[in-house]
């Protein structure tokens, strides 16, 4: 495992500029659609408003400011403010306050509703129980609910009316006020409906003595209960992002010029400044270890539980935790330029966009509320025309009014995306947008780059075949000492292996690098030569037949081979190769179980590529490819109807990642690869590829379930209510439950498990 994650690209663009607003007061998808339309009417503005997250994402051209955009939102009857910088740890006090306010109003509503409902039923079914002032008792119980508890609905309905619009709050407010005013009129002004009555339909209305105070209170209580649990669930859905933001340190111990330690707020840390990390502390920002050694827990960032050892010269990521020794780190990036900030932006980007299916749901929600009012009026009139009394007609119309719920439509998709992106972040999978999830729907082919993706991307000694007069330790002691003075990748691998095996290496004298061939020097009085077979031919050193056979055998396995000679005699063969990641074989097996065709593209030679493929179970390999060759092959497969996932990490993978239907970049890869990819896999475990695909599939299943419920609920519930088969109280409870069901179903993604 490694935590050397390269920078996540943040494209700074002045035209257009992106502005994010926190929008308050939205109660359903119709609200977000209205705000979105208002913003999109501004010249140079392209806006997307997400109801679930309460965020308006605006791409604006020209001199448009956040304040101007907020004013436009305010004009629609909602509130807006520029988003706080989510790259810093943020609190949730406003959200907590809103949840507490809903709870207080709900408690009052429930305390009044139950006695009100009991008394209303008793007075209606047993008129003899009515006593003097019974109307006042019902009124005293009902008014705190319909006035104070329902105040948020009334305020929003009034704001909607001023903006000549309607929303879910309008439906609730009109329903509650209609039931209340009708009941008060019946009890106090026309208790017996005496006096001349109009002719025709209105006679039935005039003759009714139905009282709906318990309905008004019950609907208020049920809707508040739905809003409360919905708000709690939405906070849970966004918990992963808040947890990610909270990883950042708030204070840091910096070193002054005279090496004194000083504790300062994280905002005062500047690039290039050195800071101290003690055991148990969070590493304040991305940087390079100057001195010290420690095990670092990066599980919150990468999803991997195994700590990694770091020492001088190794890079570290802000937000990870030092477990053991004390480190001195030089800050390489601060603030919005850190990897943690980049990850948070990726999660936010995935949560604030809109899927294609969401836009369809939004269009339905935009006309839904006016449609409900028309159905309500038609239901009331139809029941009266058929000869039913006003009580029956009013009950049916009221049921239609309160059972309708566009909220579920607005929450069905964004809550699932919100939870999925958060769950992905916990697993080290960062999804750039909703298009990524949609792109996984039909993928059938996974193309893997070899070096750095399937393999570790670093040369390692895989075999030492020594002459009988030398043991492995003796060979590596002499060869490692010579290669320690070289900068070649093969030399570095040999030196590292030698030091791991025997520790400190002796000094080399008369060192000479032989470019393209090897190196030589004197170690402990012995002349040591390390290099390719050609070097030995040039030096006139004979290579025994058995050594030649060993060289050919290793080369057929795709390994790089060097020979070691001591005092003019060949004593060993050292084979070096880029080793396969430990999890690669299991990951390939998982991809096969998902029914995916797995291929490997590489610029390496055919021997090396086939050796790796055989080791991990890949059936199809294309080797010795230039970057443009990868692009051509992917394009050709797409023309054949294949849906391709490309996984890579290098500069030469950028074009292929962009060409594929879905690009995945290994997190330790280059900026080019990360910028071109749709998904960033922070974990170097290749199993993250299968995790990302399974997470996307689970999210799509959840979205489908949510949409089936959201559309099906309204398709069934409204006709049932219009036919008079649904009590208004049950209608209110069903409406509140529909939104809660959608959000709760989405929350199941937090516990999604994979076939590992």
Choosing from 169, 449, 578, 604, which is the catalytic residue?
449
Rounded to whole angstroms, the Cα distance separating 136 from 113 reads 15
Rounded to whole angstroms, the Cα distance separating 124 from 186 reads 13
Q: What is the pLDDT of residue 8?
A: 38
Rounded to whole angstroms, the Cα distance separating 57 from 667 reads 26
The CA-to-CA distance between both ends of the chain, in Å, stands at 18
Rounded to whole angstroms, the Cα distance separating 20 from 26 reads 16
Q: What is the pLDDT of residue 94?
A: 60
Local structure of residue 282 (DSSP, 8 states): B
Asked if the bond preceding 16 is cis, omega within 30° of 0, the reply is yes
- Is residue 167 helix, strand or coil? coil
Put residue 280 in one of left, alpha, beta given phi > 0 → left and psi -120 to 50 → alpha: left
Q: What is the pLDDT of residue 56?
A: 85
Rounded to whole angstroms, the Cα distance separating 392 from 396 reads 6
Q: Interior CA angle at 53 toward 47 and 59, to 5°?
A: 20
Local structure of residue 651 (DSSP, 8 states): G
Number of helices (H) and strands (E), helices first, in the chain? 27, 26
Spatial contact of 434 and 662, defined as CB atoms under 8 Å apart: no
Question: Which helix (H) or strand (E) covers residue 455, if one does?
Answer: strand 455-466
Local structure of residue 281 (DSSP, 8 states): P
Rounded to whole angstroms, the Cα distance separating 726 from 392 reads 11
Q: DSSP assignment of 488-507, as one string?
A: -HHHHHHHHHHHHHH-SPPP
Rounded to whole angstroms, the Cα distance separating 605 from 343 reads 36
Q: Which residue in 52, 51, 53, 46 sits closest to 18, CA to CA?
A: 46
Spatial contact of 700 and 437, defined as CB atoms under 8 Å apart: yes
HEC assignment per residue over 44-84 = CEEEEEECCCCEEEEEECCCCCHHHHHHHHHHCCCEEEECC
Rounded to whole angstroms, the Cα distance separating 325 from 277 reads 9
Our answer to whether residue 471 is catalytic in this structure is no
Rounded to whole angstroms, the Cα distance separating 15 from 9 reads 17
Question: Which helix (H) or strand (E) covers residue 564, if one does?
Answer: strand 560-566
Q: What is the pLDDT of residue 671?
A: 59
> Over the Cα atoms of the chain, what is R_g?
35
Q: For the chain, list residues with pLDDT below 50.
A: 1-14, 85-91, 193-208
């Amino acid at each position: 495992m490694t935590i050397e994650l390269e920078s996540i690209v943040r494209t700074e663009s002045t035209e257009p500029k992106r502005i994010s607003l926190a929008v308050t007061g939205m109660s359903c998808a119709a609200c977000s659609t209205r705000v979105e339309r208002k913003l999109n009417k501004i010249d140079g503005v392209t806006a997307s408003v997400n109801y679930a997250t309460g965020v308006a994402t605006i791409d604006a051209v020209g001199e448009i400011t956040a304040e101007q955009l907020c004013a436009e939102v305010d004009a629609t009857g909602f509130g807006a403010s520029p988003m706080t910088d989510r790259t810093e740890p943020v609190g949730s006090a406003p959200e907590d306050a809103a949840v507490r306010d809903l709870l207080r109003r709900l408690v009052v509503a429930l305390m009044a509703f139950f006695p009100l409902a009991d008394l209303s039923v008793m007075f209606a079914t047993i008129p003899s129980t009515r006593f003097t002032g019974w109307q006042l008792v019902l009124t005293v119980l009902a008014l705190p609910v319909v006035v104070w508890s329902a105040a948020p609905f009334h305020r929003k309905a009034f704001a909607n009316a001023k903006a000549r619009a309607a929303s879910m709050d309008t439906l609730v407010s009109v329903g509650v006020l209609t039931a209340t005013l009708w009941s008060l009129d019946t009890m106090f002004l026309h208790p017996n409906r005496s006096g001349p009555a109009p002719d025709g339909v209105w006679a039935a209305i005039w003759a009714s003595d139905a009282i709906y105070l318990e309905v008004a209170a019950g609907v208020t209580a049920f809707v508040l209960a739905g809003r409360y649990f919905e708000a709690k669930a939405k906070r849970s859905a966004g918990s992963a992002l808040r947890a990610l933001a909270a990883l950042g340190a708030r204070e840091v111990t910096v070193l002054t010029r005279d090496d004194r330690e000083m504790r300062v707020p994280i905002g005062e840390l500047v690039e290039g400044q050195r800071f101290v990390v003690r055991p148990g502390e969070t590493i304040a920002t991305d940087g390079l270890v100057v001195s010290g050694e420690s095990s670092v827990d990066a599980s919150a960032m990468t999803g991997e539980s195994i700590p990694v050892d770091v020492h001088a010269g190794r890079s570290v990521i802000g937000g990870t935790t030092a477990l053991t020794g004390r480190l001195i780190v030089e800050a390489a990036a601060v603030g919005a330029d850190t990897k943690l900030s980049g990850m948070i932006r990726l999660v936010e980007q995935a949560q604030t966009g809109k899927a294609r299916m969401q836009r369809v749901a939004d269009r339905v929600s935009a006309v839904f509320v006016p449609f409900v009012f028309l159905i309500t009026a038609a239901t009331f009139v139809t029941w009266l025309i058929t000869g039913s009394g006003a009580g029956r007609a009013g009950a049916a119309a009221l049921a239609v009014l309160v059972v309708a719920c566009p909220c579920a439509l607005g929450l069905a998709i964004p809550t699932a995306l919100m939870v999925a992106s958060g769950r992905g972040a916990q697993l080290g999978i960062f999804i750039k947008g909703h298009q990524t999830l949609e792109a996984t729907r039909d993928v059938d082919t996974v193309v893997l780059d070899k070096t750095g993706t399937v393999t570790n991307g670093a040369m390692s000694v895989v075999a030492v075949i020594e002459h009988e007069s030398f043991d492995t330790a003796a060979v590596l002691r002499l060869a490692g000492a010579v290669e320690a003075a070289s900068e070649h990748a093969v030399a570095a691998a040999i030196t590292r292996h030698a030091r791991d095996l025997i520790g400190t290496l002796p000094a080399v004298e008369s060192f000479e690098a032989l470019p393209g061939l090897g190196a030589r020097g004197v170690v402990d009085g012995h002349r040591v030569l390390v290099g390719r077979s050609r070097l030995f031919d040039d030096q006139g050193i004979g290579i025994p037949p058995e050594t030649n056979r060993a060289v050919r055998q290793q080369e057929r396995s795709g390994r790089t081979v060097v020979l070691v000679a001591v005092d003019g005699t060949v004593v060993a063969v050292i084979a070096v190769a880029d080793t396969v990641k430990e999890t690669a074989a299991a990951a390939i097996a998982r991809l096969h179980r998902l029914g995916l065709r797995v291929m490997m593209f590489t610029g390496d030679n055919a021997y090396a590529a086939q050796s790796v493929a055989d080791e991990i179970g890949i059936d199809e390999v294309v080797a010795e490819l230039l970057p443009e060759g990868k692009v051509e092959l992917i394009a050709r497969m797409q023309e054949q109807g294949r849906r391709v996932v490309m996984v890579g990490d290098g500069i030469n993978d950028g074009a292929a990642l962009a060409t594929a239907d879905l690009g995945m970049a290994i997190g330790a890869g280059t900026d080019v690869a990360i910028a071109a990819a749709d998904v960033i896999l922070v974990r170097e475990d290749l199993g993250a590829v299968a995790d990302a695909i399974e997470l996307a599939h689970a999210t799509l299943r959840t979205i489908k379930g949510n949409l089936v419920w959201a559309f099906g609920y309204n398709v069934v519930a409204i006709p049932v209510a219009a036919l008079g088969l649904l009590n208004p109280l049950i209608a209110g409870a069903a409406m509140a439950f529909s939104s809660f069901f959608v959000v709760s179903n989405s929350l199941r993604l937090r516990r999604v498990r994979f076939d590992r």
